[in-house]
Structure formats: C-alpha cells, structure tokens
Amino acid sequence: MKKYICLSAAFTLVLIWFTGCSGPAAYRTFSSNTGLFSVDLPRSASPMEKQAREIETSAGAMDMDFYISYGEETIFMIGVLAHGMPEINKDLTMESLLYSRDMLGENADITETHEFLLNGRPAVSIRYTKKQGDDNLYAYGVITDIEGIQYQIQTAAYDPEVLNRYEAVRFQLSFQYTGGPQERRNSLNSETVVK
C-alpha cells in the first residue's frame, strides 16, 4: 500500500511540475494598446516593446509598427501595417501578402512557403534563414490581412529546432484579431497616407 502511495505522490509531483512549466500559468496574454490583437507569450519573455519603422510596400513607403519580445532562445514579433485599403477581393489581397512574403525572404534562404486560408482570410507563411554576422537566424512567419491591416506574426531563433518548440508554436497559434474599438479602426483607415 505504501508503495502505491509513494508512486502516486511522485506522479502527482511530476504532473504539478509539468503543468506548471507548460500550462497556463507559464504564459501571459499580451494585448496591443490599440486593442486590435492579442497573443500568448511565455512569462519568462521580456515585455513586448513597440517600435515604428518606415518600410517599403507595393504601394510605396509606409509606417509599420513592430511589437517585439525576447525569450530565452526565441524572438517573438508581430508587425502591424495599417494600410487602410479595404479587402477588395481575395486575389488582390493575396498579391499583397505574396509581396510581403517576398520582402521578408529577400536575401534569405527560403526553406518553405505556403498559401492558405486562416479563419477564412487569405494568408501566407514562410520559413527562412538569414545571415546575421557570422550566425544564421532562422525564422518562421505567417502574414494575413484583416480589415485593412496586415499582420506579420513571426518567431526567430539562432537554433532552427527552437521554432518547433511549444512556446514558439503557441505564440503563432494564439494570435487573435480582437478588432479593437470601432472608432480606432476608423481612425486607422482615415489616418493612413500612402507616401
């Protein structure tokens, strides 16, 4: 009887440790300050920092926001491009997504690409490797367009196996378009100017 109690107690401790390391308590949800999206990050990752950069798009130079967090071995990033152009048709949207994918893969060794529907919306993915000094940076990204805003959800690491780990996959799969306040979406669409 004591043998079964000890085994049961050991199993319970292992189960508590495992769920504590990989369960909900080990993650936090980040919501953008605009209320447009949320995503799960490991608690051990740094807080998301927002940076704005001007990038070249198929419609010319535009400002893009980047939300970046650093984990122990993984970089978590979401790019948000509020271009304000409504989805006219799926073919035109896909053309824009493919252009963005090509820009991500520029000067990179592309190992995998896909075109698919993500919650009924056109989306593309890319897995690639880029040189960073003497090191290789491995990255996986999904790009989609929702209501005039393009989202680039990416993970990157210096070890390609890290991209297959639970925390990287959970980050990708946890992305939720939350829509944000209607007035914010309207202002994003009306403030966006193509340069």
How does pLDDT run across 17-26, given as a tens digit for each residue? Answer: 333 444 555 9
Residue 22 placed within a domain: no
Supply the DSSP symbol for 46: P
| pLDDT mean over 111-116 | 92
Q: Is residue 129 a part of any domain in this protein?
A: yes
Let me know if residue 17 belongs to a domain: no
- The answer to whether residue 171 sits within a structural domain is yes
| pLDDT of 128 strictly over 80 | yes
CATH number of 156's domain: 3.40.1000.10
Structure-model confidence comparison of residues 187 and 157, the more confident one: 157
Assigned domain for 2 exists: no
Residue 8 domain flag: no
The total number of structural domains that make up the chain: 1
- pTM, entire model: 0.76
- Among 58-72, 138-152, 171-185, the minimum mean pLDDT is found in 171-185
The residue among 138 and 176 whose pLDDT is bigger is 138
CB 58 within 8 A of CB 143: no
Q: Where are the beta strands (DSSP E) in the chain?
A: 27-31, 37-42, 49-57, 60-70, 75-82, 109-118, 121-132, 135-146, 149-157, 176-177
With 0-12 / 13-18 / 19 or more C-beta atoms within 10 angstroms meaning exposed / middle / buried, residue 140 is buried
Q: Is residue 5 part of a domain?
A: no
Considering the chain, what percentage of its residues have pLDDT values greater than 70? Answer: 76
- Residue 67 pLDDT exceeds 70: yes
The pLDDT of residue 180: 57
Whether residue 19 is contained in a domain is answered as: no
Full residue range of the structural domain in which residue 113 is found: 27-191
> Which of 39-53, 78-92, 103-117 is predicted least confidently?
78-92
